[in-house]
Amino acid sequence: MGMKRIVEKLGHEALTAEDGAAGVEAAKAHKPDLILMDVVMPNLNGFQATRAISKEATTAHIPIVLVTTKDQETDKVWGMRQGAKAYITKPFNENQLIDVINGLLSGG
């Protein structure tokens, strides 16, 4: 099941962006409660977009979950240093993603 369908199944509205730059702009415009971010994207990659969102005063409060095929420990460490609150590797377990979403949205 795709991430958008999982988010919607949980009763949340899901917005999507075509690339990292569009994701940063969408975060500024919509101020979502949570962002699920891939790493491998055109324009800005997920690390760059995460850094931009987490360093911007108006969006720094938004928790970002990196969901990616990049499964090296160095990628995870780098992603967390850019401001991500969680890091999930693909293919992911749906329940794992749901637990992370629910935990972050409840302030955990």
Strand partners, 35: 64
pLDDT tens-digit series, residues 68-96: 999 999 999 999 999 999 999 999 999 99
Tell me: pLDDT of 108 over 90: no
How many residues in the chain? 108
At 33, list the tokens. Answer: 């409660």
Asked if pLDDT for residue 105 goes beyond 80, the answer is: yes
Domain at 3-105, CATH homologous superfamily: Response regulator (3.40.50.2300)
The whole-number average pLDDT for the span 90-106 is 95
Q: Give the span between the Cα atoms of 75 and 93, in whole angstroms.
A: 19
Question: Containing H/E element for 64?
Answer: strand 64-68
Helix (H, G, I), strand (E, B) or coil at 66: strand
Is pTM beyond 0.85? Reply is yes
Listed in order, strand segments (DSSP E) in 53-108 are 64-68, 86-89
pLDDT tens sequence across 26-62: 999 999 999 999 999 999 999 999 999 999 999 999 9
For residues 102 and 72, is the Cβ–Cβ distance under 8 A? no
